[in-house]
Amino acid sequence: MRPRAVVAGGAGFIGYTFVSRLLQEDFDVVIVDNLATGTRHNVNELLCEDRCEFYERDICEPVEISGPIDYVVNLACPASPVDFSRIPVEIMRTCSEGTYHLLELALHKGAEFLQASTSEVYGDPEVHPQREDYTGNVNISGPRAVYDEGKRYAEVLTLTYHRTLDVPVHIARIFNTYGPRMRPDDGRVVSNFCVQALTGQPLTVYGDGNQTRCFCYVEDLTEGLFRFMTSQYTGPFNIGSPEEITMNELAQRVLEVTGSSSAIEQRPLLHPDDPKRRRPAVERVNEALGWQPVTDLTTGLRQTLAWFAQAVEE
């Protein structure tokens, strides 16, 4: 029998790519998504495959799905910093009640559970690069805390189901990810810079632009998630690119790749506790799963820009 996976958040940017990967691997897939940030367009494309089903549901309510399930994957949560102030209560409920309902589903079905955690569990890190045993520096009173603490809670709940109820779990701390299917208006730096460069608007660098991130191409990320989900490892594992770049350098790179003559403008930071440096230590995931990203930033940006060019036109 083919393995069957429930993917919460399967209509989103990472979710779409992950579901496509599962379908390639001959899985049956049930997408559960409330379309808060995922799109009907993504779902319709995935449903072309008759091994894929869609339940339009909010995981904040109990999730009931008939038939056997081998894997429950939790990719459901708005993850762009602009969402943190736009829908903070929804984010906290998705991380807490939503993760609980999916863990209950995994428990009752005897399924394995993959939790998408985040580099945000490290907050504005004082240790660089961030290893999985670093406990983080989250400002509990800051605007990012709804997501950071929500995801930290979700990790604890996931590990608790593992330790006390024997649910096999995998916890992936996903670092910055980019690629086709990002929403042009999601407010993230790659989306903003690409759309701005393509439409001749100034590229908006927040703060002094010296803050760093590492950007992983979405297909590399989903390869890592797939290997992790089908492994015996619990983690947590960082999954991300170790190639670090400042936002000023990223703006330059986007201009080079597009050939755009857009200016670069400085704007105030969106959140005062915007992490200054972020880079995953990837030794653990590399050793355990033999995984590392293979797509360099320029190549990945070309693919992403092709997607945005089409999205901007529509």
Q: Which residues bind ligand UDP (CB under 6 A)?
A: 80-81, 176, 188-189, 192, 204-207, 211, 213, 247, 269-270, 274
Q: Which is nearer to ligand UDP, 157 or 247 (CB)?
A: 247
Report, in Å, the least distance between residue 72 CB and ligand UDP.
25
Report, in Å, the least distance between residue 48 CB and ligand UDP.
30
Report, in Å, the least distance between residue 179 CB and ligand UDP.
13
Q: Which residues contact 141 (CB under 8 A, 6 or more apart)?
A: none
Rounded distance between C-alpha atoms, residue 74 and residue 12, angstroms: 12
Q: Which is nearer to ligand UDP, 69 or 182 (CB)?
A: 182
Residues β-bridged to residue 32 = 8, 55
Rounded distance between C-alpha atoms, residue 32 and residue 172, angstroms: 19
Q: Which is nearer to ligand UDP, 53 or 273 (CB)?
A: 273
Report, in Å, the least distance between residue 80 CB and ligand UDP.
6
H/E stretch holding 235 reads none
Q: Which is nearer to ligand UDP, 8 or 189 (CB)?
A: 189
Structure letter (DSSP) for residue 201: P
Query: So which residues are the catalytic ones?
Result: 147
Q: Which two tokens stand for residue 179?
A: 């690629």
Structure letter (DSSP) for residue 51: T
Report, in Å, the least distance between residue 84 CB and ligand UDP.
9
Q: Which two tokens stand for residue 51?
A: 């091994």
Rounded distance between C-alpha atoms, residue 225 and residue 23, angstroms: 14
- Is the link from the previous residue into 129 a cis peptide, with omega within 30 of 0? yes
Q: Which residues contact 65 (CB under 8 A, 6 or more apart)?
A: 6, 30, 32, 55, 105
Report, in Å, the least distance between residue 181 CB and ligand UDP.
15
DSSP strand pairing (244-246 vs 177-178)? unpaired
Single-letter amino acid code for the residue at 75:
L
Structure letter (DSSP) for residue 198: H
Q: Which is nearer to ligand UDP, 175 or 228 (CB)?
A: 175
CA angle 81, 84, 85 (to 5 degrees): 115
Q: Which is nearer to ligand UDP, 112 or 186 (CB)?
A: 186
DSSP strand pairing (212-214 vs 244-246)? antiparallel
Q: Residue 189 in 3-state DSSP?
A: helix
